[in-house]
Amino acid sequence: MKLAILDDYAGVALSSAEWHTLEGVADIVVFREHMPLDQAVTRLAGFDVLCAMRERMPLSAELFAALPKLKLVTIVGKSLANLDIAAATANGVALVHPAEDLNEPQRDRFVHATPELAWGLVLSVARNIPIEDRNLRRGGWQSRTGMMLAGHTLGLLGLGNTGRIVARYGQAFGMKVIAWSQNLSVERATAAGVAAVDRASLFADSDILSIHLQLSERTRHLVGAKEIALMKRDAILVNTSRGAIVDEAALVAALEEGRLGGAGLDVFETEPIPADHPLLRLPKVTLTPHVGYSTPQILASFYRDMPEAIVAYARDAPIRVLNPIALKHPKHARKCR
């Protein structure tokens, strides 16, 4: 089989799993750069298997229809916003979600990756770290003042696993922590040492507002022009969840007009972010390229079981397929060995 490992941005895929077990089963090609749909259709035309990393490559109906040889896609996560399961099934593409057998200590350790990045963005924007770094390298010296976090209010839009960790960071820095989400109870907030507030108060009272929600139809553009207008003029917005939770046009307008103090963003409505996006030219904005989960340990846990699943498919052994009806498609009757 011809196998493509997609979007290996950091070049760690081959060292993160035992791909040697596929010797004699599959020829592996690694793609490190992101491919738009038109490029993907051409460059992936002859492949039988794709190994996708979370939501980096849109697995759309257009892609599945354009790759008639494609039989198998390994994915990370059972429910991905960029995955059209119905289209995969209709085109006979089996979707494999490799086993996740992380023990409790591993899960506890991995859940800190995104909160740590979120707090890095908080500090970067509050203390102007990227701006002062660039200024210093150009021969300058101190150019502006920063926000001291102690005594200020950290607002959390969402108080799940990630939000609770970020709450502890804020408390360690001497901040008052408040939170709101559609399902947040006073009891749950109190247990985390956080004050539950209403939606308007969250935006109005936060000096730092950090987003920790899953993207859904309920949360898409949940932070829009109306919500941003409630925020303080020197407040900072941080988003490490999903870009579409924030209305980027409204955010850009507020930043350009000086109605918001700054932003720290790891996620964007379109990824990779377009080269001409206005966020890239705004000074009081710190941007990272969706690296909240991008650590060697986490990526290795994602890649680890992919080779085993592909070998099992090639040898007609049992595998966990999200859409088992796809295996009844004629293209699976004869496999390339």
Residues involved in catalysis: 242, 271, 290
Residue 185 DSSP symbol:
-
| Neighbour tally for 188: CB within 10 Å | 16
Half-sphere exposure of residue 2: CA atoms within 13 angstroms, side-chain side: 10
Query: Rounded to a whole number, what is the distance in angstroms from the first to the last CA of the chain?
Result: 6
Joined together, the tokens standing for residue 9 give 């941005």
**d(Cα 216, Cα 71) in Å, to the nearest integer?**
29
Answer whether 104's CB lies under 8 Å from 127's CB. Answer: no
Contact criterion met (CB below 8 Å) for 27 and 311:
no
Rounded Cα distance between 249 and 241, Å, is: 18
Amino acid at 137: R
SS3 (DSSP) at 222: coil
Query: Sign of the CA dihedral 53, 58, 64, 67?
Result: negative
